[in-house]
């Protein structure tokens, strides 16, 4: 009996220490990679509804979106009728927009990547994910004063050559599966400028992801943009012609 008690007393501290070590040293690279590739895979294809809200009006867009790896994205608006056919293509570091009403393709310069896309609170870069959290940012685990149990907090700071207006980004992810639930964006002066909440975790093509992203700019009263994934599938073969300037100008 005494031997049993002694063994229990010896094992409990070991279990506690082992748990603490695991708690203190999660693989930050795996966390950031999971967030970076959350809505991407070898290929992805989906349908999205975007609602732009301001104090005086609300506007809803529907669009189809395709991606291949981390460097090719194609988006085409399907609703409302007046905007249908507007499309965005990104290949590597280059991006183009097509406006069917004037039948014109416009290349987006790097200086405009952080500008608003279609009047929403999302930037061109947000939409096509030109920047990579893994490649373009330094990352470290932090523990904010208001941290909650069950979550990791990752701080991202841009590398010197990264085109961005953000001085740092703090991502809150679930410890259980590394799914992000919130992202706080700070400018270069350390002021929090916008918050993105990721909600309604759902399963698409066997992958668990947030179906809703709500982006709130803190310097624009009553403004927010909500993106909802209506459908999304991964790793299905796509026609290579999707990611082309020729396809960009097709009227659908």
In the block, residue with structure tokens 């960009």: 248
Residue 127 has pLDDT above 80, yes or no: no
pLDDT tens profile 59-77: 999 999 999 988 899 999 9
**For residue 216, what are the β-bridge partners?**
195
Alpha-carbon distance values, 41 to 73, 125, 157, 181, 233 (Å): 12, 18, 24, 20, 10
Mean pLDDT of all residues in 170-183: 96
Residues 107 and 95: their CA atoms lie apart, in Å, by: 6
User: In the numeric block, which tokens belong to residue 192?
Assistant: 């929090």
Banded pLDDT at 129 (limits 50, 70, 90): low
pTM of the model: 0.83
- To 5 degrees, how large is the angle CA 217–CA 233–CA 128? 40
Q: Which fold has domain 28-248?
A: outer membrane lipoprotein receptor (LolB), chain A (2.50.20)
Banded pLDDT at 229 (limits 50, 70, 90): very high
Residues 211 and 177: their CA atoms lie apart, in Å, by: 16
Mean pLDDT of all residues in 96-101: 95
pLDDT tens profile 11-59: 444 444 344 434 557 899 999 999 988 888 899 999 999 999 999 999 9
Nearest to 101 by CA among 112, 114, 85: 85
């Amino acid at each position: 009996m005494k031997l049993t008690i002694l063994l229990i007393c010896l094992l409990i501290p070991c279990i506690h220490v082992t748990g603490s070590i695991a708690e203190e040293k999660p693989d930050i690279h795996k966390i950031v990679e999971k967030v970076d590739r959350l809505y991407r895979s070898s290929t992805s294809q989906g349908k999205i509804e975007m609602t732009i809200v301001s104090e005086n009006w609300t506007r809803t867009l529907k669009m189809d979106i395709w991606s291949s790896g981390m460097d090719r994205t194609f988006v085409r608006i399907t609703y409302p009728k007046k905007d249908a056919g507007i499309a965005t293509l990104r290949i590597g570091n280059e991006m183009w927009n097509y406006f069917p009403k004037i039948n014109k393709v416009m290349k987006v310069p790097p200086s405009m990547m952080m500008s608003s896309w279609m009047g929403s609170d999302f930037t061109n870069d947000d939409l096509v994910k030109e920047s990579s959290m893994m490649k373009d940012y330094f990352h470290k685990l932090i523990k904010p004063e208001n941290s909650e149990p069950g979550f990791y907090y990752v701080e991202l700071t841009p590398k010197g050559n990264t085109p961005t207006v953000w001085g740092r980004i703090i991502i809150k992810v679930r410890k259980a599966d590394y799914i992000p639930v919130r992202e706080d964006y700070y400018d270069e002066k350390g002021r929090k400028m916008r918050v993105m909440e990721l909600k309604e975790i759902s399963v698409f093509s066997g992958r668990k992801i947030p179906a809703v992203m709500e982006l709130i700019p803190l310097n624009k009263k009553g403004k927010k943009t909500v993106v909802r994934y209506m459908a999304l599938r991964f790793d299905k073969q796509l026609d290579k012609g999707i990611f082309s300037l020729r396809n960009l100008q097709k009227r659908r």
